[in-house]
Structure 1
Amino acid sequence: MNEYALITGASKGIGKAIAVSLARSGYHLLLVARSDSDLQLLSQSIEQQYKVKVHYLSADLSLNTSAVHLKEWCTGITSDLSILVNNAGYGLWADFEVLSLSEQLNMLRLNIDAVIELTYHLLPILRKQKQSYILNISSVAAYQAMSKLALYAASKSFILSYSRALRYELKDSPVTVSCLSPGPTATGFSSRAGMDALTELAEKFNMTPEKVAEAGLKGMFKKKAEIIPGFLNKVSVFSAWLLPKSLIERITASLYK
């Protein structure tokens, strides 16, 4: 196999688990994250264990120039890109007016703008393949409004809606778009979001990154539009569809107060 997969946010958590799983299947990898040292260690480990080519780039995707730079880096390595995994992103937990505006805008820049720009720049390459895939990482938070995670949940709702629309636009092309929406996962998200007080609660429902990655890739290769790993997460999403929005908002507010 000479196909490559590009994964953002690849140094830990779900992104790392996806990278390892794809390497196990024989894909060469293009790994992107902010931590150069973590990427170096992961790349060396994967190359030694799975005998595939691994290239890595340390980059802050929230910067305006990153997507173009990343495209140039990718095309300088291969023309056989067949998988794009948009995994980079994070959340911030607090009331909207308490968090700094600059922090929130930077989060939106990474969660939304970086996904749009990178997909736009790499789509011509993906179109040239016999079959290619885009896997966007959203969250079960996409299915309801969430106080104290207002902009994070809204950004993930955007990714879900955008993924479905792009999927339809590309239905007659070689490119399939899927959206993976995990629930609580043991990735350090709670700590990064400033939710240390809720870490114990989250751990009761956490899935492992490996289980989420397995479900995500399985669904992607089956060309599913939406992938929700875990029974409890499926129940949560169904409840958000079935029950009044005001009730769901009260329930989520009580969980994350």
Structure 2
Amino acid sequence: MNEFLKNKNVLITGASSGLGRELAFQVAANGGRPILVARNIEALKETAGQVELEYERKCAYYPCDLSDFDAIHRLVEMLKAEQQTITVLINCAGFGLFERAEETPFEVTKEMFDVNVLGLIKLTQELIPVLRNNRRSHIINIASQAGKMATPKSAVYAATKFAVIGYSNALRMELAEQRTNVTIINPGPIATEFFERADQTGNYLKSVGRFALKPKKVAKKTVKIIGTEKREVNLPRSMNLVSKLYQLFPVLIEKLGKKAFMKK
């Protein structure tokens, strides 16, 4: 049990499915009050109902398209009007598409940056004054191992996650004085609905097999560090080791890993 979360409001984006949905369950299991944000109102309603049924925790939800920056502003104003204090922000919303760079439609590139990066930045910026009202608060940004080591057919997705990591590292230093910690979660592939759009062939998840992470495991690891000064959580260990080696020996790793990298 993470005692820091007891009766704390935790806003989670991308909460209608996948990792975001599992984060809602784990926050509630640890005594927190999830506030769910996503585009799909029916899925949000179902998730909120399930949280309340299983954990007897109040679970508010707000439909919001994170590529609509005006909608993000309206969301924050609504939260303020309803006097919803936010202690923890988990930016989990995002999507990818496994395509060669030259074949990725530019409108998809723009959408990916709008959701994965600009929407995250806009919501975070709007909520910083709200978080400042707490004695201690926490921002958790779900990035990716792809943001530490880019591979073929994920150029745009990797670029968005590199941006999230860079933004988070600078933000951590800026917010240190107001005691708002910033943590980056860098998971490898997670067996969720993410791949229904990212890889419609279904081949990638099959190729990584047992190395694919379970969303519940990632959610538990994430919730465990809320309220701490942890900088990063990197999963799985094997992929984290490869990404560290890549920082030291990029040419060698690209040569040795070429066959595996091309499996997407």
Normalised TM-score (structure 2): 0.91
Deviation at 1:242, TM superposition (A): 2.6
| Contact 1:147–1:253, Cα closer than 8 Å, also in 2 | no
Identity of aligned residues (%): 32
**CA spacing shift, 1:230–1:221, aligned 2, 3 Å:** farther
Q: Does 1:18 align with 2:9?
A: no
Deviation at 1:201, TM superposition (A): 1.1
Q: Does 1:202 align with 2:193?
A: no
Moved more, 194-203 or 171-180: 194-203
1:19 aligned counterpart, secondary structure: helix
Of 220, 228, 233 in structure 2, the residue corresponding to residue 222 of structure 1 is: 228
| Contact 1:147–1:252, Cα closer than 8 Å, also in 2 | no
Residue of structure 2 in register with 1:248 after alignment: 254
Deviation at 1:183, TM superposition (A): 0.4
Moved more, 117-126 or 68-77: 68-77
| Contact 1:30–1:55, Cα closer than 8 Å, also in 2 | yes
Following the alignment from structure 1 to structure 2, what is the Cα–Cα distance between the partners of residues 2 and 80? 11
**CA spacing shift, 1:232–1:77, aligned 2, 3 Å:** farther
Following the alignment from structure 1 to structure 2, what is the Cα–Cα distance between the partners of residues 194 and 225? 30
Aligned amino acid, residue 30 of structure 2: S
Q: Does 1:52 align with 2:77?
A: no
2:212 aligned counterpart, secondary structure: coil
Aligned amino acid, residue 226 of structure 1: E
Q: What root-mean-square deviation, in Å, do the aligned CA atoms of Structure 1 and Structure 2 show? A: 1.8
Moved more, 197-206 or 9-18: 197-206
1:181 aligned counterpart, secondary structure: strand
Aligned amino acid, residue 230 of structure 2: K
Residue of structure 2 in register with 1:3 after alignment: 8
2:60 aligned counterpart, secondary structure: strand
2:37 aligned counterpart, secondary structure: strand
Residue of structure 2 in register with 1:150 after alignment: 155
Query: Where in structure 2 are the equivalents of 1:183-194 lying within 5 Å?
Result: 183-194=188-199
The Cα offsets for residues 211-250 of structure 1, whole Å up to 9 and x where unpaired, read as 1111122234322111113222322222222322464377
Of 132, 151, 169 in structure 2, the residue corresponding to residue 127 of structure 1 is: 132
Query: Where in structure 2 are the equivalents of 1:76-155 lying within 5 Å?
Result: 76-155=81-160
Of 152, 155, 165 in structure 2, the residue corresponding to residue 160 of structure 1 is: 165
Aligned amino acid, residue 262 of structure 2: Y
| Contact 1:216–1:229, Cα closer than 8 Å, also in 2 | no
2:53 aligned counterpart, secondary structure: helix
**CA spacing shift, 1:250–1:213, aligned 2, 3 Å:** same
Moved more, 133-142 or 209-218: 209-218
Following the alignment from structure 1 to structure 2, what is the Cα–Cα distance between the partners of residues 8 and 250? 37
Q: Does 1:74 align with 2:79?
A: yes
Normalised TM-score (structure 1): 0.93
The Cα offsets for residues 57-114 of structure 1, whole Å up to 9 and x where unpaired, read as 2221112312102212222333421000000001111111212110111011100000
Of 22, 27, 48 in structure 2, the residue corresponding to residue 43 of structure 1 is: 48
Aligned length: 257
Structure 2 unaligned spans of 5+:
1-5
**CA spacing shift, 1:249–1:58, aligned 2, 3 Å:** farther
Of 54, 61, 65 in structure 1, the residue corresponding to residue 66 of structure 2 is: 61
